[in-house]
Amino acid sequence: MWKFWRKNGLVIAGATIQGFGMGVFLFPHAIPSGGAGGMSVLLNYWFHVPIGFALWLVNFSMLLLAMKYLGNRSTLWTMLSITVTSLSIFAFQQTIHVPARNVWIDLAIGSIFLGTGVGILLREGVSNGGVGVIALIIANSRNILPGKPLFLINGCIFILTASVIKWEIIIQALLSQWISTIIVDLICKINFYQSYTLGWRKK
């Protein structure tokens, strides 16, 4: 029971920290926080799918992968992380207003919070939603840290999105992913083998 509540608290904390970085620092500058956002923009651009529904569709598809490869329990934890992240983004955007902004300072701060939240989630064997599921599957199968596959997958999506929409977003998006990836791996290196070799197995 203690392990359940401990993991529950860490998942909620990780998702809230992630939502704080996204909602307060990254989204006000339209900086994509990950591959799911880029895929949603492309679906909206190509097929005129409402971006909110497109984001849900991408996350739902990733959850199906999580259920198949990571097990039902991992999928439920991922659903919790996605829900808490979405609610925290909305809450923080409604309650916190930064009067003077600098895009590069906000990018750095937001990416640090994003990486911290994602790192906590992945360290618990829980995806942060979107393409984080794919990164977790790759890391699980190869017994490696998830930061690098997460960066490579998101980078490819950002390049595709920038080539279709506008090239200006790619520098900020990739820089944000690079910073957050460093933080993810720093968080995940803590008790790496104990956390990952047992936590990722199908339940």
What DSSP designation does 34 have?
A: S
pLDDT of residue 52: 56
- What are the residue boundaries of the structural domains of the chain, listed by start? 2-94+102-199
pLDDT of residue 71: 65
Three-state DSSP state, 32: coil
Question: Contact, 74 vs 125, CB < 8 A?
Answer: yes
Q: What is the pLDDT along the chain (203 residues), one digit of tens a residue?
A: 778 888 899 999 999 999 899 888 987 777 777 788 778 778 878 998 765 567 678 877 887 776 777 666 767 887 888 788 878 887 887 888 887 889 899 999 999 999 999 899 888 878 766 777 788 788 878 888 777 888 888 888 888 888 887 787 788 888 988 899 899 889 887 754 444 443 444 44
pLDDT of residue 203: 40
CA distances from 8 to 24, 50, 84, 146, 200 (A): 24, 32, 11, 21, 16
pLDDT of residue 192: 46
pLDDT of residue 70: 63
pLDDT of residue 201: 42
Question: Contact, 109 vs 174, CB < 8 A?
Answer: no
pTM confidence score: 0.74
What type of residue sits at position 14? Answer: G
